[in-house]
Amino acid sequence: MSNLDRESAPKSAATSRSCVLADLAIGAFLFIATAAFVLWQNTHLTVLWDLSYILENATRISLRQIPYRDFPFPYAPLTFLVQAAIIKLFGRVVFHHYLYAAFTAAWASLLTWRILLRLFVDSRLPARFCAFLLAVPLVFLGTSSIFPHPFYDSDCTFFILLCIWLILRLESARFPSFPTFICGLLLAVPTFIKQNTGLAFLLSASACIAYLGVRNRQLRRPSILLLAGAASGFACALALIQSTAGLANYLRWTIHFAASRRLPGLSTMLGIYRDPALLWIWVVSFLGFSLLCLRRTARHLAARWLGVIFLSLPFLWALAALLLNEDASDRVEALLRLWPVLLMASLVFALWRLPHAKEFSQLLPLVLLGIVHGAFLSQQLWGSTYALWPLLMILLATILLALAPADRDSRPFVTPLTAFTTVVSLVLLITGGYYALSHERLEYVDLSGDTLAHSKLPALRGLAMRGDWLPNFKELIAYANREIPSGDAILMLPGEDLFYFTTGRTPQFPVVMLDNTVNPYGATDIFQLASQQNVKWLVVKRKLQLQEEPLAFRSQLLELLLRDFDPVDSLDNYEIYRRKQMSHDVVVQH
């Protein structure tokens, strides 16, 4: 060994150790900060309708009721199966499910950071610094930061991130056979967490993998292994569904029925790109990208900095909107309007690089774009992005890499693009914090109230919310335990509360919540089913946390049901009715 080698070896080892320590510190910070924020959100925030739908149906499954076969169910099963497993393993305590949401969100932030680091590692840009800058806003914009309860959107994004990270890791290891096949198996899993998002991921990822296999002979074998694994995983899942719920039942509820209730038209999907308020953002973004991409202008320092300034303007406007707009929704819209421009920019750069793509990482933007637009099939831009911000961070990274590719001398771009990344990070950190803390995404529920109530019920330990919802629900539970036999069938109208999760009773009516998205029955159908299922009690909630009535035919349904039910008690927020042939010995209380 030469003297130079002897001197450089300790320096290299010291540098390696410092990088490992830095990575551990950053990873620990992102994990702990994300988990802590999600848990903190749950200490003062509860969205009854959505939380109830997850946990009430998970309770049914834990009681061995089979979705699709025993009751209508328009969603993919895995999120509900996981929550049912938590109930079986640890009992009915809502805090356990909050821990799960915090844990998966923390892992999602960590995986996003590792994906970003792997993407930046071969670029001229400072890899660790840029990866951290794009990952840190996920403390407020993580998969469960805006909506902090366990949900299929956040679960699906988490598993997609896991699959992407595994593919990139296997790619750097030259795709060892067995792990590559196992990774392929996992590609099918998101489809059974949320069908539209997961299927979009499976199809777009499979298309990109097949494209690489056709274009690059060295990747042909890994591509075959990944695709074979994905096909095997998908086939195994379908076989399992057939043996339990029945494949025809599954397709009926998760595809045909779900599409009939939620699928938007093409014009609605494209509407996010035609918003007149985006016009100036399109213009300045086009100017910014042009200055950075055209060789004639990009070689001038002033042009590079001017391009970065143009690209920063939409982000700075989102920040300024916090001060200039009085309405909270207008402030948040300024942030959400960044999405269409960034999606279009990433598409243009991905197509530009497509003919020369030799690695999965270079096709990753196309996969992410497929996922995002698949997710938009549910609730479009405003409703669907709350769990997709990690994917936008990765798309931002691919745009930066396209502006400073490793295959050319991009050193003159390093400082301007690093400055741009810093601006983006600070803006998203501040505006994302406002977005999460303002609860603007949750405007569909009533979160007002002077006092913060904490549930004293054992099953609801950890649940807190403003208003009288919890004291009123506690009164209902006490009444049910005292007056309603545990084996009697109950119809909850419309079913906003965690009634079955709290009491441990077995639901005996086909649907536990009545709204257009999940309920396939009309007023006459429900009336007839109540008789067929021998429903003995009707519980009607007067005031809902939901801002809009979920049941369009509520008045018509009540008119029908009251032919067979008599009022027996009136609680603070609930009316109790009993089937007439049973009510002769019950005194009406007012």
Its domain, for residue 522, covers 452-585
587/116 Cα distance (integer angstroms): 67
**pTM beyond cutoff 0.85:** yes
- Per DSSP bridges, beta strands 489-493 and 535-541 are parallel
Confirm whether 305 is domain-assigned: yes
Predicted confidence at residue 588, as pLDDT, reads 43
Predicted confidence at residue 288, as pLDDT, reads 95
Contact yes or no for 78/192 (Cβ under 8 A): yes
- Provide CB contacts within 8 A for 204, sequence distance 6+: 366, 367, 369, 370, 371, 374
Closest CA to 264 of 371, 372, 368, 376: 376
Predicted confidence at residue 331, as pLDDT, reads 92
Collect the ranges in the chain with pLDDT lower than 70: 1-15, 265-266, 380-383, 406-409, 582-590
Using one digit for the tens of pLDDT, what is the confidence trace for 60-69? 999 999 999 9
Predicted confidence at residue 196, as pLDDT, reads 93
492/483 Cα distance (integer angstroms): 16
Predicted confidence at residue 454, as pLDDT, reads 96
Confirm whether 9 is domain-assigned: no
Predicted confidence at residue 382, as pLDDT, reads 63
90/81 Cα distance (integer angstroms): 14
Predicted confidence at residue 404, as pLDDT, reads 85
Confirm whether 530 is domain-assigned: yes
Using DSSP, state whether 493 is helix, strand or coil. Answer: strand
172/174 Cα distance (integer angstroms): 5
576/478 Cα distance (integer angstroms): 13
- Provide CB contacts within 8 A for 341, sequence distance 6+: 278, 281, 282, 285, 314
Closest CA to 255 of 377, 371, 150: 377
Predicted confidence at residue 297, as pLDDT, reads 72
547/487 Cα distance (integer angstroms): 33
Using one digit for the tens of pLDDT, what is the confidence trace for 298-322? 778 899 999 999 999 999 999 999 9
Confirm whether 280 is domain-assigned: yes
Q: List beta partners, residue 576.
A: 539, 569
- Per DSSP bridges, beta strands 535-541 and 565-570 are unpaired
Domain boundary among 309, 334, 359: 334
Confirm whether 177 is domain-assigned: no
Give the chain's domain count. Answer: 2
Q: Which residues of 447-458 are buried (b: 16+ CB within 10 A; e: fewer)?
A: beeeeebebebe
Domain boundary among 313, 334, 355: 334
DSSP one-letter code for 507: P
Confirm whether 295 is domain-assigned: yes
Confirm whether 467 is domain-assigned: yes
Confirm whether 208 is domain-assigned: no
Contact yes or no for 145/139 (Cβ under 8 A): yes
Domain boundary among 307, 334, 361: 334
